[in-house]
Structure 1
Amino acid sequence: MLIVVSEWLASPGPELLAASGHTLCFDPMLWRDPERLRELVAEADALIVRNQTRVTASLLEAAPRLRVVGRLGVGLDNIDLEALQSRGIGLVTARNANAIAVAEYVMAAMLQVTRNLAAADASVRAGKWERERLGGTELWGRTLGLVGVGEIGRRVARRAQAFGMSVIGYDPFIGPYDYAPAELGIRLLSLSEVLAQADVVSVHVPLSPETYHLLDAERLALMRPQAVLINTARGGIVDESALVEALTAGRLRYAVLDVTEEEPLPAESPLRSCSAVLLTPHIAGLTADAQERTSRLVVTEVLQRLAALSVR
């Protein structure tokens, strides 16, 4: 069988695929060439992608042999799920393989905002000794608000509680006796209440028509002036123009964005010139450890799906 990998795949994925006995087409830059991708998937039995390859209905129509798509991550906004289902094509995702990495990133982001050791280091190297200015603040006693209380949100909550933070959350799919409120003590509130009460708001929902610009100007206005917004989910969930306006006007203290609506971030984006934003290139779940787990999990399950098909 032919397996096409259209984006970067960490070890041990390539090694596992090479040893599988299947024909492998592995080109990390294939997603940049839609025509060649279309030609290759015409004969493919499996396709493995990250977040750049657009797995559209049109692409799937060109792939009559395709039986499984592997997604090296958990976000599915680049995949037409209805088209997959209608054609009977299976889907394999990373299923929490990078959840620890994202949770640790959120903690690092909060500590960066409260203590900013890099600024202190730069000050000392410049010959200064600004102890009063660089003392920072604490996480202890502050309130973390989670927009989305799924697997990643729960892992963030446990770590934040270890730092002495109270945790509140909004998630319409979580009930009062589910694990998050019953075992972790996360207080479930409305979205408006979470935004109004939290010192730090961390976003953990998928991008969908319902969540696009979920945090718009009206909802950002509910946040405290000294609050911090952290987004490791998807850029389209936050209205970036409204965010820049709120930060510039001093209605919001700071934002840490690992994701933006357009990636890479365009040169003309106002986020680039906003000093109250810390920007990273979609790396929250990209630790070496997480990529190893993701690669092994997705490739192993794709091979298992193909093996099951071959014995039918």
Structure 2
Amino acid sequence: MKIVVVGDALVSSATLIDAAKQINFPDKGEVQIKTFEWFSDLKKEQFQEKILLIEKNGPEAVDIPAGILEEIVDADYLLVHIAPVSKKMIEAAQQLKLIGTCRGGLEHLALESIKAKNIPLIHVIRNAEPVADFTIGLMYAETRNIARAHNAIKNGEWRKGFSNDPYKTVLANHTVGLLGLGYIGKLVVKRLNGLGVKVIAYDPFVDMAKIKAEGLDVTLHDLNTVVSQADILSLHMRLSPETENMINKDIINQMKPGSYIINTARAGVLHKGDLIEALQNKRIAGAALDVSWVEPIEPGDPLLSLDNITLTTHIAGDTIDAIPRAPYLLKTVLNDYFRTGVSDMLIKL
């Protein structure tokens, strides 16, 4: 059995190898692990530039590790963090039985090529808990003007009035609507349940019986119902051709005047121009975004002139333990998959 492991600047190959040795692969016999590095020597800020290239343009937009095409030919398993799994790599692989990636986003993977070869793909939401926490934090920050008050004080102003004053209330008086009820979405529901907040959701791919079996108090509706009933619309869907610019003028115009948009998913699911227009015209009360269409946000961007938006620097999942422990989370998920043959983390392509 041959395993190809690709480390990077955030998840070392040594950690991936250690996790791999704890995986109960169904194959028997001698184990060979071939290791590669993908810009592992870059500092975090420099490596972030590579990540942004992948997130915007996919795995073909960056270099793959030298020599990997030759080694992947007879590999049985491929384990990566965010290193690209390109079309050439998949085409070269002759007996790949599974790909494991220890992150939630799939932009670094040539999904069509993986689908064409019917290779099982397992991922893990390594920062699901931090993102869920941060999502709740943005709800408080935007609806209660926490960041705006702080910014005013720093600029010498003791500000007491805000554009959302007609709508201010406690979180428990809001109905939160989630678009996407995957792993992160369910963690957000769990937190909102604990806070006594009514939760509704839209996700055409979830099994409501399974959601209920997990003890989550959430009601599924069609998209238009969720959008029109939610006081806070929180986005948790993957970016795909089907979801790109999904939240546009038509959707926003169905929202309540006192409602908010929270986005800790991907910027591309939200139509930038339509959001800016809605905020400028006070069509909705506000928005909070941890993701942007261009990162860093460029000087002069219309987002920076808005007084009814909270912006953060794509840090929702950035905690000291989320990324380092990701290979071990992948290990646990793979062991369950090999034992049972099923997994919520198996991507349906």
TM-score category, normalised to shorter length: 0.7 to 0.9
Find the aligned partners of 1:56 and 1:191 in 2 and give their Cα distance: 34
1:234 to 258, 266, 286: 266
Which residue of structure 1 lines up, in the alignment, with residue 194 of structure 2? Answer: 162
Find the aligned partners of 2:150 and 2:35 in 1 and give their Cα distance: 48
Is contact 2:142-2:310 (8 Å) kept?
A: no
1:39 to 57, 66, 69: 66
Which residue of structure 1 lines up, in the alignment, with residue 127 of structure 2? Answer: 98
The residue identity in structure 2 corresponding to 1:9 is L
Closer/same/farther in 2, CA of residues 63 and 49 from structure 1, 3 Å limit: farther
Find the aligned partners of 2:181 and 2:193 in 1 and give their Cα distance: 14
Q: What secondary structure sits across from 1:290 in the alignment? A: coil
Is contact 1:44-1:66 (8 Å) kept?
A: no
Aligned residues: 301
Find the aligned partners of 1:227 and 1:184 in 2 and give their Cα distance: 24
Shift of 1:215: 0.9
Q: What secondary structure sits across from 2:137 in the alignment? A: helix
The residue identity in structure 1 corresponding to 2:133 is E
Find the aligned partners of 2:221 and 2:336 in 1 and give their Cα distance: 42
Is contact 1:247-1:254 (8 Å) kept?
A: yes
Which residue of structure 2 lines up, in the alignment, with residue 17 of structure 1? Answer: 17
Closer/same/farther in 2, CA of residues 118 and 234 from structure 1, 3 Å limit: closer
Structure 1 gaps of 5+ residues are: 306-312
Shift of 1:301: 7.3
Structure 2 gaps of 5+ residues are: 22-31, 54-59, 73-77, 338-349
Which residue of structure 2 lines up, in the alignment, with residue 288 of structure 1? Answer: 320
Is contact 1:181-1:188 (8 Å) kept?
A: no
Find the aligned partners of 2:292 and 2:198 in 1 and give their Cα distance: 28
Once the two structures are superposed, the pairs formed by residues 1-312 of structure 1 within 5 Å of their partners are: 3=4, 5=6, 7-10=8-11, 14-17=14-17, 22-26=33-37, 27-28=39-40, 36-37=63-64, 39-45=66-72, 46=78, 48-50=80-82, 54-61=84-91, 68-87=98-117, 89-94=119-124, 96-121=125-150, 137-180=169-212, 183-265=215-297, 269-298=301-330
Find the aligned partners of 2:293 and 2:183 in 1 and give their Cα distance: 23
- TM-score normalised to structure 1 length: 0.78
> Which is worse superposed, 64-73 or 252-261?
64-73
Find the aligned partners of 2:244 and 2:149 in 1 and give their Cα distance: 37
Q: What secondary structure sits across from 1:292 in the alignment? A: coil
Find the aligned partners of 2:214 and 2:331 in 1 and give their Cα distance: 35
Shift of 1:238: 1.0
Q: What secondary structure sits across from 1:144 in the alignment? A: strand
Find the aligned partners of 2:17 and 2:214 in 1 and give their Cα distance: 42
Find the aligned partners of 1:303 and 1:170 in 2 and give their Cα distance: 31
Which residue of structure 1 lines up, in the alignment, with residue 344 of structure 2? Answer: none
Is contact 2:16-2:327 (8 Å) kept?
A: no
Closer/same/farther in 2, CA of residues 262 and 55 from structure 1, 3 Å limit: farther
Q: Deviations over 1:108-127 (max 9, x none)?
A: 10111133444444555667
Percent identical pairs in the alignment equals 33
Find the aligned partners of 1:212 and 1:34 in 2 and give their Cα distance: 19
Find the aligned partners of 1:303 and 1:185 in 2 and give their Cα distance: 29
Closer/same/farther in 2, CA of residues 7 and 34 from structure 1, 3 Å limit: farther
- TM-score normalised to structure 2 length: 0.71
Find the aligned partners of 1:43 and 1:101 in 2 and give their Cα distance: 38
Closer/same/farther in 2, CA of residues 271 and 6 from structure 1, 3 Å limit: farther
Find the aligned partners of 2:264 and 2:211 in 1 and give their Cα distance: 22
Find the aligned partners of 1:25 and 1:290 in 2 and give their Cα distance: 22
Shift of 1:3: 3.9
Shift of 1:211: 1.5
Is contact 1:143-1:166 (8 Å) kept?
A: yes
Find the aligned partners of 1:175 and 1:302 in 2 and give their Cα distance: 22
The residue identity in structure 2 corresponding to 1:155 is L
